[in-house]
Amino acid sequence: CNDLSFETALSQAQELGFAEQDPTNDIKGIDARYKLVILTYLITSQWFAPEQINLEGIDHLELADFEYAERMGRSIKLIANLRLSDQGIQVYVLPLMIEKDDVLAKITGSTNAVTLSGKYADDITLIGKGAGSLPTASAIVSDLNKIQRHPDEPFPPPLSNKKLEIESMDNIQFRHTLRFEVRDQPGIFGHYGSIFERYSINIYALEQLPQYHRIGKEGEETVIFTLTLQNCKEGLVHKALKEINQADYMLKPVVLLREIV
């Protein structure tokens, strides 16, 4: 069922053994970040501390976010991303919106996938179970076997002595979609527009649907709507949101979703 609440879906995942009884590492992306640390070492020959990698989990997302993604022909997936750039490497764990025909969009349940993208080759995707008693036990036995056979070299030797720096998240460009939940009143869009203008951010699209317009018991009207921005740097969006979230009509902090550009 696609309309399960976050709490119900998490409870079912725990019952099936796909999420830990303490699900913090799963839903906050901490486990994915540990995996990314290992993959980054295997690809770049450099160890980075987990705290160096920008992290955002899925625990703040709500049904409205997934409904919006569905309308846009997208899926939301928690993605651990590593990309070589002229400035060093881009490395982060974030919930991202990806096109529904993308291989990663079709990954469900306890299945994990790793996609390798080369400069000249087509993408290569490796798919397998990422949770459960037997897949976990198999991975542990495989690691112990490698350590037994190569006790002095448990890890592969460095491929290069070149030191790479992690590029600041502020400088990475995304297409951002923002979900707002506000007390309905005149002038809200004008206020947003003036803030975005100061940071040279262009609004690409606006969606406000009747089913997200509610009237409370005391007659207070609340609205949920989304703004999609033209491609821009992450740091500029955070500066704008810092001002927007302070507005008295905001009921919750803005929820931010991204697409890789």
Residues 6+ apart with CB under 8 A from 250: 180, 181, 182, 244
Choosing from 28, 35, 106, 119, the catalytic residue is 35
Whether 35 is catalytic is yes
Q: 160-164 long-range contacts, Cβ below 8 Å, gap at least 24? A: 160/44, 160/45, 163/46, 164/44, 164/46, 164/84, 164/88, 164/89
Of 225, 178, 175, which Cα lies nearest the Cα of 60?
178
Catalytic residues: 35
